[in-house]
Amino acid sequence: MTGPPLVGVDLDAALDRAVALAGRGPARDRNPRVGCLLLAPDGSIVAEGHHGGVGTPHAEATALAAAGPSARGTTAVVTLEPCSHHGRTPPCAEALVAAGVAQVVYAVADPTHAGGGAALLEAAGVGVREHRHTASERLVADWARAAALGRPHVTWKVASTLDGRVAAADGTSRWITSPQARAEAHRVRTQVAAVVVGTGTALADDPSLTARDHRDRLLPDQPLRVVVGHRDLPASSRLAGPDAGDATTTEGEVLHLRTHDPVQVLAALRERGVHSVLLEGGPTLAAAFWRAGLVDELLVHLAPALLGAGPGAVPDLGIGTIADAARLELVEVDRLGPDLQLRLRPIPPEELH
């Protein structure tokens, strides 16, 4: 789809601004973060808007309200294709047409049932252009992936020795991996919406699950910290929180979900606007998600060390014969100091034949 040329307008710069606006919206929300600019023919900004979360006006509606009659003849630059469906708010595509917007430039096509706004706009005589923009794609990547899955995307993270041990025979486990690998693990926590452990890990290790820098300072982006299981945690635990609710501490939110069902866990997290989950718990939690077919990716930090004994990194997955072995696709390999980081994708059985 193409529209008339925009003279003297830097679309990448405009979309950079729209992404910055979108960042004002909630980091965890059922809806994606979206930013919108309305540009005059000379490229100057007439109005701006961003989506503030479920139930609030969309970015386009916010910008149109700010512009009023000045919206007529403008170009709307939006990070995500305007929606075309009636939900809690009216369709943005219809609002843009009604306001007399001359052209719409969007960076990412809407992959959900709300898509189709571009076609609606074109049918109404509005010029439409799709302009690829990396930052806009990153902005909605987790949301789009979760929308396709119908649940949050799940990554199972493992840190182990070369022989697959996560601790020595005496139970000691600090530190299996290098400072570089641990720094990357903290960075990964800033890239997901929630980090999940079971009550067993919470009781045994009392982890904070926060994202910190090399000086042990909290990083700006913190995940929702989630404990799964029925057992109570002591009040002194760093992950102690009220039943079926969340607690906000100086280190971010904590949620205790009193269930052992991975499907219920992901449904509860999706309701809270979580689109990506990092499993950092022990073998019981990992096995439950794996057996339920709810692991989309593995992130393995492999240290060049041997223990020969001690707890294994991988739980009993119910595999009894080599023919049933879980096969993985090696997607990416990176070196983290002396360690390796392997990113892998489970290969569905139908892809093996």
Helices 134-149 + 11-22 axis angle, to 10: 50
Query: In the sheet that 45-50 helps form, which strands lie side by side, from edge to edge?
Result: 45-50, 35-39, 75-80, 103-108, 127-130
Cα–Cα dist 129/109, whole Å: 11
Measured between alpha carbons, how far is residue 313 from residues 189, 284, 285, 295, 308 in Å? Answer: 20, 11, 12, 15, 13
Residues 1-57: pLDDT tens digits? 444 555 567 899 999 999 999 999 887 788 899 999 999 998 999 999 999 988 899
- pTM assigned to the model: 0.81
Q: Can you give the pLDDT at residue 283?
A: 81
- Structural element, H or E, at residue 345: strand 339-346
- Residue 107: helix, strand or coil by DSSP? strand
- Structural element, H or E, at residue 298: strand 297-303
Residues 303-326: pLDDT tens digits? 999 999 988 888 888 888 998 888
Strand partners, 340: 302, 335
Nearest to 258 by CA among 279, 242, 275: 242
Measured between alpha carbons, how far is residue 224 from residues 20, 120, 208, 278, 282 in Å? Answer: 22, 38, 11, 10, 18
Q: Can you give the pLDDT at residue 1?
A: 44
In the chain, what are the domains?
Answer: 11-144 (3.40.140.10), 151-351 (3.40.430.10)
CB atoms under 10 Å from CB of 179, counted, come to 12
| Radius of gyration for the chain, computed over Cα atoms and rounded to the nearest angstrom | 23
pLDDT averages per 10-residue partition of the chain, 353 residues: 58 95 87 94 93 91 96 96 80 94 94 79 93 93 89 94 89 86 92 92 88 86 92 88 50 88 95 93 86 94 93 85 90 95 89 71
For 4, phi then psi, to 5°, come to -65, 155
Nearest to 266 by CA among 288, 239, 283: 288
Kindly report the average pLDDT of the chain as a whole number.
88
Cα–Cα dist 246/272, whole Å: 11
Please list the active-site residues.
60
| Residue linked to tokens 């919406």 | 193
